[in-house]
Chain A
Amino acid sequence: MASPARLELTGITKRFPGVLANDNVGFSVKPGEIHALLGENGAGKSTLVKMIYGIMQPDAGEIRWDGQRISVPNPKVARKLGIGMVFQHFSLFEAMTVLENIALGMDAKIPARELESRILAVMGQYGLKLEPHRIVSTLSVGERQRIEIVRALLLNPKLLIMDEPTSVLTPQEVEQLFAVLRKLAEEGCSILYISHKLHEIKALCDTATILRGGQLVDTCDPAVETSRSMAEKMIGGSLKDISRVAGREFGATKLAVKALSLAADGPFGTALSDISFNVRAGEIFGVAGVAGNGQNALLLALSGEATNADPASVTVDGVAVGHMQARARRGHGMGSVPEERNGHAAVPIFTLADNAVLTARDRLGMVRAGLIDAKAARTYAGEVIEAFSVKATGPGAMAESLSGGNLQKYIMGREILQKPQVLIVSQPTWGVDAGAAAAIHQALVDLAATGSAIVVISQDLDELLSLCDTMAVINGGRLSRPMAVADAKIDEIGLLMGGIHGDVAHAH
């Protein structure tokens, strides 16, 4: 036998009230191997790595480290063993400097000056650029991730766990990250890479372990598998393609946005400046961009939550609505779904029926003489639940009792079944599993086929490329020139997302 595996798990089981999060999971990671942990939301990936990193304890099973059986009671012990972790949601302290943030992640007391020189050394070695004295709140998402990586690398880890590291990065940043990870692996560091992005796993990983519903489905070689075969293992069924009519023609302009500007909302908001685009009947228009570049402001300005002095800045079916509030815009055929489900798109402590009243009351006549027609609301909520296979006890279920994916399906359904002429959605499949995402995508395509104009704001480039007819990139509150998705080049989109403006986008 060769040397023992760096990390070997056998029979790991973890139970939460009502859920078996991990059921007898076992796999091993060799030194220098980049090992993917693949699965949908809720498949148990995060729980599993939390046990490896000592945040949670397994109910049963054993963890072996370089052949030795170990227990990891807390993250400190994990770090001492040489396990580093970069979280999906960064555990950073916004109001503190890069240096302070890194110092907090170190168990040993190191004088600030020595720490700084070690940080600079690690950054030089792996080509990670960071300014140690910047306050974290002023940094981009990619830079924040670099802090986490540097923090982990300073401990000279033998195993680095990366939890969905690329969900917030531009394609160029992803490439830089992969270069760092490959260099680390060459030096013998094992990497456990959690993701559900299949092409990344194919590009980066040596082995992939697939989890579904807490159980290990398969351990395979991503180079041999296709993205499709891995996706099907992941969801445990065959994947449906979005079916759409080829060579569709678009109708007249439904939504016209002309020179739309909006002041920044608070010191951390992004101002919109001079945004113009048209969406025709039957067209799905995508807005790509890295988080925090004005997506929220754009949604607010389009939906009517933020109004504009110039009525002509937004027109729906030729009616200037720029000065109107959301309800008035809805009256002219607009619908919208914001990014945040709880507390923005839906009131968590309202029933699904009451939540239906919030946006559908005028169009579907749910209010008569100032009184809510409870029966009409329940009936409509029931239709949405039925049509979008929302898992809920019924129209009387509290919105907060639904899982994120189910609530998202309900909210999307609530808007789509109202057959809006123009629909604005932000992050339609954020945190939604692949099956539900496919259903939501299909519903959007079907709505477009009936002649509605749809705007999809998303950070998921794959989603936009597969769903949209036309797309543009938002960066720093400015929108690039729209391009047909059929001729879009991923490099070019990446550059736009990274803020490289000007003639690159429309060289032709």
Chain B
Amino acid sequence: MSPDFIIAAIITVVGLSTPILLAGLGELVVEKSGVLNLGVEGMMLVGAISGFAVTVYTFNPWFGVLGAAAGGALASLIFAVLVLQLNSNQVATGLALTIFGTGISSLMGLSFTGRIVMPFTSVFPDVLAKHDYLRLIFGYSPLVYFALIMVPLTTWFLKSTRAGLILRAVGENDLSAHSIGYSVIKVRYAAIAFGGAMAGIGGCYFSMVITPMWAEKMTAGRGWIALALVVFAGWRTGRLFAGAYFFGILMALELYAKASGFSFLPSQFWAAMPYAMTVIALSFISSRGTAGANAPACLGKPFLPST
């Protein structure tokens, strides 16, 4: 294997890992607050088209990213109202959000099909970004660095800030948090909106960095991988980071198997691997009895303060 091949492979893995890392970080925060939002795929698609559309009109990909975040957050707020205000079933509502997001993004994207947007310019000088080897470090889209910065930031937020402590408390025992005097609903609104914004940014990585153009259902199920990733990581940010890159390798192998007709194992095998790994990781962790302690205790349960 030539060095060029290895460098190209690494750059592919980073590109595949970044959207699921972004969406996964958002979903991790949502789940830590005790809400299971299965609508990640839908929010990513809404983010992808919103970011694309804003960039088309403003000619500025940075505004596009803001648009993607806003689009994802708006989509997530539909879910939030249903789940938090009307106590609808979170699983069903999340699935509905994915279906809705798929449809609305296709509708919004009708007039954008075939158009191309201005891609991000590198934040580093070309000497570094286009260098044969240094591009391994400096040659990525700004969103890649954003995702990498968000990992320690999210960790710090959850572990060391008071707001993070309250968010975890709400996910751990909503009734207790309520009786102490925290607003469970407000905390969950904020968490869901954050998750939506992160999924939206993850989605716009497809329409603004990878291609950069809009196509229907272009996230191709990566929202589901992001969901699996959160469970695979055992709701820990550090493991989520490692898991995103591990899943990125599996997805790269899938692409490679597809493109090269690599006959050793079919591409479908690699496509299934992230899910299989999640099941294996989950049964391994729960057999040691520590996953139960780490999964937010109120995950997926409606908040019903009656007595």
Restricting to B136-181, which residues have a CB under 8 Å from any CB of A?
Answer: 162, 165-166, 168-169, 172-173, 175-177, 179-181
Please indicate which of the listed interface residues B165, B168, B181 has the most CB atoms of chain A within 10 Å of its own CB. B181
Report the Cα distance A90→B176, complex, angstroms.
8
Whether B292 contacts A93 by the Cβ 8 Å rule is: no
Whether B165 contacts A103 by the Cβ 8 Å rule is: yes
Whether A96 contacts B179 by the Cβ 8 Å rule is: no
Report the Cα distance A90→B289, complex, angstroms.
24
Q: Does A95 contact B (CB under 8 A)?
A: yes
Known: A103-B165, A109-B162, A137-B293. A91 touches B175 (CB 8 A): yes
Known: A92-B176, A95-B297. A76 touches B165 (CB 8 A): no
Residues of A within 8 A of B168 (CB): 93, 96
- A87 and chain B: residue at smallest CB distance: B179
Report the Cα distance A94→B298, complex, angstroms.
11
How far apart are B218's CB and chain A's nearest CB, in angstroms?
38
Report the Cα distance A91→B184, complex, angstroms.
14
Report the Cα distance A91→B175, complex, angstroms.
8
Whether A104 contacts B177 by the Cβ 8 Å rule is: yes
- B166 and chain A: residue at smallest CB distance: A104
Whether A95 contacts B179 by the Cβ 8 Å rule is: no
How far apart are A229's CB and chain B's nearest CB, in angstroms?
31
How far apart are B182's CB and chain A's nearest CB, in angstroms?
8
Number of A-B contacts (CB under 8 A): 53
- B288 and chain A: residue at smallest CB distance: A267
Q: Does A476 contact B (CB under 8 A)?
A: no
Whether B180 contacts A105 by the Cβ 8 Å rule is: yes
Whether A95 contacts B293 by the Cβ 8 Å rule is: yes
* Interface SS of B by simple majority: helix
Q: Does B268 contact A (CB under 8 A)?
A: no
Report the Cα distance A109→B294, complex, angstroms.
26
- B305 and chain A: residue at smallest CB distance: A55
How far apart are A66's CB and chain B's nearest CB, in angstroms?
22
Report the Cα distance A382→B172, complex, angstroms.
43
Restricting to B167-208, which residues have a CB under 8 Å from any CB of A?
Answer: 168-169, 172-173, 175-177, 179-182
How far apart are B282's CB and chain A's nearest CB, in angstroms?
16
How far apart are A54's CB and chain B's nearest CB, in angstroms?
8
- A138 and chain B: residue at smallest CB distance: B293
Q: How many residues of A contact B (CB 8 A)?
A: 23
Q: Does A75 contact B (CB under 8 A)?
A: yes
Give the contacting residue for B169; candidates A93, A107, A135; CB below 8 A.
Answer: A93
Whether A267 contacts B180 by the Cβ 8 Å rule is: no
Residues of A within 8 A of B297 (CB): 94-95
Whether A75 contacts B172 by the Cβ 8 Å rule is: no
Q: Does A343 contact B (CB under 8 A)?
A: no
Known: A103-B162, A104-B166, A104-B169. A95 touches B294 (CB 8 A): yes
Known: A104-B165, A104-B180. A266 touches B173 (CB 8 A): no
Restricting to A77-122, which residues have a CB under 8 Å from any CB of B?
Answer: 79, 87, 90-96, 100, 103-105, 107, 109
Please indicate which of the listed interface residues A90, A91, A93 has the most CB atoms of chain B within 10 Å of its own CB. A93
Report the Cα distance A109→B160, complex, angstroms.
12
Q: Does A74 contact B (CB under 8 A)?
A: yes
Whether A95 contacts B172 by the Cβ 8 Å rule is: yes
Known: A94-B297, A103-B162, A104-B165. A75 touches B175 (CB 8 A): no
Residues of A within 8 A of B173 (CB): 91-94
Restricting to A39-76, which residues have a CB under 8 Å from any CB of B?
Answer: 55, 74-76
Known: A96-B172, A104-B165. A75 touches B180 (CB 8 A): yes
Report the Cα distance A51→B134, complex, angstroms.
66
How far apart are A234's CB and chain B's nearest CB, in angstroms?
22
Report the Cα distance A91→B172, complex, angstroms.
11
Residues of B within 8 A of A266 (CB): 289
How far apart are A311's CB and chain B's nearest CB, in angstroms?
30
Report the Cα distance A79→B162, complex, angstroms.
19
| 30 residue pairs from A and B, CB less than 8 Å apart | A74-B181, A75-B180, A87-B179, A90-B176, A91-B173, A91-B175, A91-B177, A91-B179, A93-B168, A93-B169, A93-B172, A93-B177, A94-B172, A94-B173, A94-B293, A94-B297, A95-B293, A95-B297, A96-B165, A96-B169, A96-B172, A100-B169, A103-B165, A104-B165, A104-B166, A104-B180, A105-B180, A107-B181, A267-B289, A267-B292
Residues of B within 8 A of A (CB): 162, 165-166, 168-169, 172-173, 175-177, 179-182, 289, 292-294, 297
When A and B form their complex, which 9 residue pairs have the shortest distance between CB atoms, in order from nearest?
A91-B176, A267-B289, A75-B181, A93-B172, A76-B181, A91-B179, A104-B169, A93-B173, A93-B169
In the complex, given contacts A79-B181, A90-B176, A96-B168, what are 18 additional A-B residue pairs having Cβ atoms less than 8 angstroms apart?
A55-B179, A74-B181, A91-B173, A91-B176, A91-B177, A93-B168, A93-B172, A93-B173, A94-B297, A95-B293, A95-B297, A96-B165, A100-B169, A103-B162, A104-B180, A137-B293, A266-B289, A267-B289
